[in-house]
Amino acid sequence: MKKTAHLFKALSDETRLRILALLTQGELCVCDLMSVLELPQSTVSRHLAYLRNTGLVEDRRQGVWMYYRLAEGDGGFRRGLQAILQEHLADLPQGKADRASLGTYFLRKESSACK
């Protein structure tokens, strides 16, 4: 029950929900998330660490860049919850706005330093 409570605590923060909604679009670099969320690296990284510790996201390092993606659910409850999040988070008004900002960001992004 403690792990479930920790999972729901992770979902109780707007910034973490926005990150999860953006990650429904696929793997993203921390710099991509910083740009769309308009938050400093330290804030984004802190929220990503929280999500990683709950098992909602996975990370990988490529050189100096960290990339994050939604984790595969490891149990029926977690898989079901993640399916609901993936299906509905991006459809919320803030999720739609962030998705549009991500699209604009990628269109104007000249440097592929973190890709």
CA–CA gap between residue 4 and residue 55 (Å, rounded): 11
Least confident of 6-20, 59-73, 98-112: 98-112
Nearest Cα to 22, choosing from 95, 108, 104, 112? 95
Report the CATH number at residue 18: 1.10.10.10
Whether residue 115 is contained in a domain is answered as no
The pTM (predicted TM-score) of the whole model is 0.88
Whether residue 75 is contained in a domain is answered as yes
Residue 112: its pLDDT value, please? 55
Whether residue 63 is contained in a domain is answered as yes
Whether residue 39 is contained in a domain is answered as yes
Whether residue 111 is contained in a domain is answered as no
Tell me the residue range of the domain where 91 lies: 2-105
CA–CA gap between residue 102 and residue 62 (Å, rounded): 21
Whether residue 76 is contained in a domain is answered as yes
Alpha carbon of residue 40 to chain centroid: 15
Residue 53: its pLDDT value, please? 92
Whether residue 110 is contained in a domain is answered as no
Report how many domains make up the chain.
Answer: 1
For the chain, the first-to-last Cα distance in angstroms comes to 39
Whether residue 114 is contained in a domain is answered as no
